[in-house]
Structure formats: structure tokens, C-alpha cells
Chains A and B, each alone.
Chain A
Amino acid sequence: MSTSLRYLTAEQHRVVTAAADRLVPPLDAHPGAGALGAADYIDGALGAFATNPPLVFTGGPFSGRFGGDARWGEFMALTPLEELAWRTRIEGSRGDPAREWNGPVRGWQEIYADGFAALGADFADLDPAVQDERLRTASRDFRTVFYEHVCEACYGPPEYGGNRDLAGWRAIQFPGDVQPRGWTDEEVSSRE
């Protein structure tokens, strides 16, 4: 668990870690979503604006994993419209007319608040069958957003907080972002 959280409480971090494992479970030596850092990823998504620039778009062009300068950790400044979109998506419209061009928008933070209420503070200590039942009672919006976030945490780039030690990519035999090395013609065309 990360030492400084951006948005989640320590208790919520523990709930997310346990719940994420029910969606993408550990298997043999491969970590599940919890150990891959799903809660850190979600903490970064819900608390993206806790730092400036916000944790929305990584920098570029290269991560440094296959050569080049490592620049993905330098997140990009947003345009005014991008900031409006991402604050609305994350925080919700909160009655602000400037965010309600098509009416009220429920943000991730509100959707997760409902999710935490459905899962319960004791979620991490429950039997798996009870955990699954609690997940089933959560709202459809929460289950959709949470699942997408969990997948992004497991199999997205680690700069966003998930895919710890690249174990998500290693498990599925995916080498990740290969620029600027790329692949040789032989590697493209041969079976191996």
C-alpha cells in the first residue's frame, strides 16, 4: 500500500484492494488486482486533481522501459476544456451550471461513495461468498466504473499506479510499450 493517499481513506483503500481481487483474482504465482495496485490506481483516478498537473494524461513519448528518456511520469497540463471534462467526470457536476450543459452528471467520487456504502467498511474481512453478494448489490454504475478501473490498473501502464512491478503485463506475456526499440522485421514475421 502506498504511504500517502491522494483521495481514499486507508479503510477505503483496504476495501478496494479486497473487492478488486474478486473481479480479477490471483492465480498461482500471478498476483490479482489487489496486489497489482488497483487501490493505488483508483486513488490516483479519484484524486487526480490533488496535484498539478493532474494524473490524467502521461507525458511522452517514451517510458524508458525500452530505451529513450523516461518521460511518462511527467503528467501533462490540461487545456481548459479538458480540465472541465475531467473535473466533471471525477467530481460530478455538483449543481454547477458550468458543468451541466446536458443536466447533472454523477462523478466517479460520488459513484464510489455509493459503492463503499454497499460494500461496507468490513468488506475486507468477509467470506468471499458474502463479498460477492455485496458486490452484486452495488449500483450498476459503480460495478461498471469499478471494473473498468480494475482492468486499467492490472493491464495499463504502471505510471498511473497499477500494474505493480509490471506483473500484470508479465503474466499475460505482453512486453508493454516497446518504443523506441520496436520490433525487428524478423520478430514481426517469425512464429517465435
Chain B
Amino acid sequence: MNDCDAVVVGSGPAGATVADVLAHAGHHVIVLEKGANHLLSFDAPFDLLGHLSNDEIKFLRRHFLGPDPLLEPRTFRRSEADGDRLFVGEVNNLPSTVGGAGFHADAKLPRFRAVDFHARSELGPIDGADIVDWPVQYDDLEPFYDEAEKLLGVAGDAAQNPFAEWRSSPYPMPPGPDMYGATLSTAAARELGLHPYAAPTGVNSVPYDGRAACNNCGCCANFGCPIDAKGDPVAPLRRALSTGRVEIRPLSHVSEILLDATGKQATGVRYLDTSTQPPEIREVRARMVVLGCGAFETPRLLLRSGIANSSGLVGRYMMHHFQTFVLGIFDHRLHGYRGRSVTHLHDDHMLVDDASRAHAREHGLPYFRGGLVEHGGGGHPLMEAIHLPPGPRHTQTMLESPMRDRLWAFTMQGEDLPQVTNQIDLDPQVVDVHGHAAGRVTYSSHPHDLVASSYCSPLLERVLQRAGATSTFVATSPSLHGDGPRLAPNSKHVMGTCRMGDDPRTSVVDPTHRCWDVDNVAIADASVFPTSAGYGPTLTLVAMALRASRTWL
């Protein structure tokens, strides 16, 4: 006897989207979320709970939205040569709470471009990486991109980006106000031949879907919106709950996927109800199990359950964007704490041209691509304070604020090539609070990612100098220097750890996201991405989940 039609593990953008689609088709859905609920009431009209705020200590220092690295450590090494691990702590951490990883973001929601779905055919292979075409192409996905933009509420102006693909309808909202710093950096970028545009942003520029317009408080990424102006993750969750056929169970940590006697069908999941200490062990029986735990936790759960891995590729091809930070310090204040943190982007470094090809060949590569570049403000006060050395100059430097109020920054989300040796597996010793093996990242950047970064950095420094920066410098994540935690990647855009494909020998899920080995287990998150493009993955994973989940039940 099933408890529901589908049990969805994870309540972030992937799980929420699937719950919404399945419930609207008449199915009963139980969503299990390991984190707490700080987002919305589960009773109509599903108002915000009022837990979200602008408190930097609560959100950026004390892990309010989880995971607490003491309870759920992750481990990191560059390669097997480093031994079992170099570091224990936070590695690619993303919020784990009702609403999921979208909390980390300032909600830039770009589409991929057509070439991103068939880079192998159009641009060709690169040694040391397994670049493949996706079984899904841009034209297949376009209607679902359109639907996702309306569902989440994206503000943008497609006419501003000459490299954008075709689209069937305009963005549902116009862009919000330009940040002052972006007025400087976009003007300089244009003068140097680049093509900046107002960032497609999942933040309301006008009242939308019953939610308020953004009031530019400056605390987007990692805080959560206290006035309900951000569509991911609240919009799909609210829609799903409004059907009356969705139950969300927070504090429910799935320990294992359960199979029937054949070993080829899932019967449900076992989970720990952590609302009590010690936790209670519970089960949910369902016709279908959907994983939306993110590309770090989804393969960890599959590996722990010992399923869906006849290809040996669960956890392999881990990708996250190689982040290049180009920072410019100005002689006057830019008040980057006002506005939506990042208001402009440019795509130019995603294009392969003659100059970049020539540079690539000098470094033994056929070509390279950089990534989306975000034009954004500096950090928050505690970030700046802790970054500075203690001592006699501390207060003086805080008053001058070179790393916050006088900073303008480019972040390039560089495409990270899929390498089979980059992976998430189970740490042989370190465990989480429940005794489950910690997820361990083994990751080294491909030369492609490093060459792209070093090629684009000086171009971006010139833009900031032209915009008025009196000094510029470059940093990356993962860091190329230093030791310990700095070597571990901080990118939140984790992808690729259960890649999709047409062949069960070389992929984990089929083109409709079902696991080849256990076809009533599907994966809804960015685990399925075969390549990483150079764009934030959220809108694409939501569009992919919309497309796939309609075929499931």
C-alpha cells in the first residue's frame, strides 16, 4: 500500500518544480526535506513565516539555513595523490532548508545558449575531458524555459543581449533599477567592445504572482527574501501546496532508497525524522521516487543506497563553475549594498573567436570558453572585517572600505569541463551526525578552465580600470595558491554527477531523467547535466524538470 504516488527528496527548485507538476496532474506527492522550514506556512494562503531577515550573523556566520558543517561535514582532495582528504568542512556548500539551494543565489536566471547543448558537435572534443552533446537541445527546451521564467517570475529584457537565443515570448517583467556601480562598469565594457545587459533576475521588479516588488535591500544571496519578492523557491512550492495534494515534511533526512525483491524497482525511501533527538526511523512507500537533493547530495544518496550505478558513473564528472573574481577598488564609494547585488551580465567570453582560438592553441587546446560575467558590488561588513588582518590598521581600513563600499567586482562563472576523475564519493572515515559517510570531492581543474581564466582576467581588469578603478586584482575559486580550505571549491553551481545520455553504459539517467537501472527513480536536479556551460544552472534545471516530469506518471 503506497503512501502517495511520488515521494520527492528535496524541496529546492528541482523538487518543488516536480511536486508542482505532478500535483497539478492529479497525483499525491510527499516531499521530504532534511532541513528545517523557515520559508512559508503550509496552510493557505501559504504566507512567509517571517524568519528571513537582513541579519549577516544569522545567515552568513551561523548557518541558519544549513547545512551546519559540524553536523554535515564534507571533505576535499585534489586527487588520490593527496591521500584520503586534504580538508574537512565546507565544500561547495549550498543551503539545505525548505526551498533548498536557491537561497544562496541573488537569483540570476539566464538561459543556456543552443551551442551549450551540443558543444561536442559544434566545437569538438578536448583531450582529458568527456564533452558530449545533450540528448535534449535548446529548441526542445525553449517552451519549458518560457514556462520556468513565468513560474519563477524573471525580470529581464532580451533585446539587450545580442548573444541570446530565440525565445517565444518576452520576460514577464522588465528589469529593475541599475546599481550605480553597474552604470560605470557597463559603460566601460561597451567602450571596450563588450555587450553587457540587464541580468535576467528572479526578483520582482513589479508586483508579480501575488508577491511584492523588490525594494533593493541588498541582501539577496544567502539571506532569503523577507518581503517575498524572490520567486525561487517560494513560487513553485506555493503553487504545489495550493493543489491540496502535496505534503512537505521538513526535518526528514532520507537515509536510503528502498528496492523490491527484483532490485529493479524502488518501493519508497527510509528516512530519519529529526524533529526528535534521537531521530525516529520512518518510511514512505510510493510508486515513484524523485531525487532533487542537488548534484552533491543526490549521488551521495545513490551511492549510500548502492543503486543506479551499473555504469560506475554515479558521482563522476562532477562540475562546478571555475570562478574568476576580478576586483576593482575605486577612490569613491559605490554603495554596492543598495540593489540586487548583481544587476548586469555579459556573455562575450562564452564565444569562441579567432583571438581566443589562437591563445588556446598556444596552450595546447583546440579552443576554450570562459563564462558568464556578473557585474556586482562588494561584500557585507563582516566579510570585509574578517578578511582584513587584525591590528592597528583595522579600523582605518574599515572606514576606507576598499573591499566593500569602494569595490566593484566581476565574477566569471567559467565553464568547467567534465572529467571522469572529478567526483563525489563517500569518505572512508568522516561521517555526518547520523553516521552516514560524508560526501568527498576529488577535484582538479582542467587546463581549459585555467587558460580561460587567465585569458579573460586582464580583459576584465582593463574594463574596471576604464570604469575608474584605481587598482585591480584577480582571485579564483578554487584558489590556485595557498593551502587547506582555500583549495576547496566554493562555487554553488554543482552539476553533472549523474549524467544523462542515450546509452546506459555511459550515463546514469535516460533522456527523461529516469535511472537506467531503476526506472521508477528519477533525478530532477543538475546532477543530470552532461556539461556545465558557463551559466548558472537553476533556470535550466527547472526547465529540464518541467519537461521530464510530465512524462513520468
Contact = CB atoms under 8 A, between A and B. Distances in A.
Interface of A: 22-27, 30, 32, 56-63, 71-72, 76, 79-85, 88-89, 101-102, 105, 147-148, 150-152, 154-157, 159-160, 168-169, 171-185, 187-191
Interface stretch (B52-60, B124-132, B508-516): B52-60
B371 interface: no
12 contacts: A22-B391, A56-B62, A57-B58, A60-B50, A85-B68, A89-B70, A152-B382, A155-B381, A168-B381, A174-B381, A179-B54, A184-B216
A85 B64 CA distance: 12
Contact of A177 (B54, B399, B431): B54
Given A152-B382, A189-B179, A62 B226 contact: yes
Contact of A173 (B333, B432, B434): B333
Given A84-B433, A190-B180, A172 B52 contact: no
A25 B55 contact: no
Contact of B395 (A24, A175, A183, A185): A24
A102 B71 CA distance: 9
A60 B392 contact: no
B329 to A, nearest CB: 16
Nearest to A174: B381
A27 B400 CA distance: 12
Given A25-B394, A60-B53, A178-B54, A183 B71 contact: no
| Interface of chain B: mostly helix, strand, loop or mixed | loop
Nearest to B70: A85
B274 A191 contact: no
A171 B395 contact: yes
A62 B54 CA distance: 8
Nearest to B216: A183
B62 A188 contact: no
B456 to A, nearest CB: 27
A8 B285 CA distance: 52
A29 to B, nearest CB: 11
B432 A101 contact: yes
A178 B386 CA distance: 22
Contacts of A59: 50-51
A178 B216 CA distance: 9
A114 B381 CA distance: 29
Given A23-B394, A56-B62, A79-B36, 12 more contacts: A24-B385, A24-B394, A27-B395, A32-B395, A60-B50, A60-B53, A61-B227, A82-B36, A155-B398, A156-B381, A168-B381, A173-B405
Given A24-B394, A152-B57, A181 B386 contact: no
Give chain B's interface residue range (CB within 8 Å of chain A).
35 or more
Nearest to B64: A57
Nearest to A105: B70
A56 B61 CA distance: 11
Nearest to A187: B338
B162 interface: no
Contacts of A88: 70
Interface in B21-64: 36, 48, 50-58, 61-62, 64
A178 B218 contact: yes
Given A72-B55, A173-B405, A177-B54, A183 B339 contact: yes
B177 A188 contact: yes
A63 B219 CA distance: 14
A172 B176 CA distance: 27
Contact of B52 (A61, A80, A159): A61
A187 B339 CA distance: 9
B398 A157 contact: no
A25 B393 CA distance: 8
A79 B251 contact: yes
A80 B55 CA distance: 22
Nearest to A154: B385
A63 B52 CA distance: 11
Contacts of B214: 182
Nearest to B338: A183
B390 A24 contact: yes
A84 B71 contact: yes
Contacts of B405: 172-174
B227 A156 contact: no
B36 to A, nearest CB: 5
A171 B405 CA distance: 13
A189 B181 CA distance: 8
Contacts of A148: 61, 386
Contact of B53 (A63, A89, A155): A63
A128 to B, nearest CB: 10
Nearest to B401: A172
Contacts of A83: 277
Contacts of B180: 188-191
Contacts of B445: none
Nearest to A190: B180
A58 B57 CA distance: 9
B73 interface: yes
A168 B384 CA distance: 13
A30 B176 CA distance: 37
Contacts of A157: 55-57
B215 to A, nearest CB: 3
A179 B392 contact: no
B249 to A, nearest CB: 13
Given A72-B53, A179-B215, A183-B216, A174 B337 contact: yes
Interface string B54-84: 1111100110100010110100000000000
Interface in B352-382: 381-382
B227 A180 contact: yes
Contacts of B251: 79, 81
Among all A-B residue pairs, the 7 with the closest Cβ atoms: A182-B215, A177-B54, A80-B277, A60-B53, A61-B226, A151-B385, A185-B177
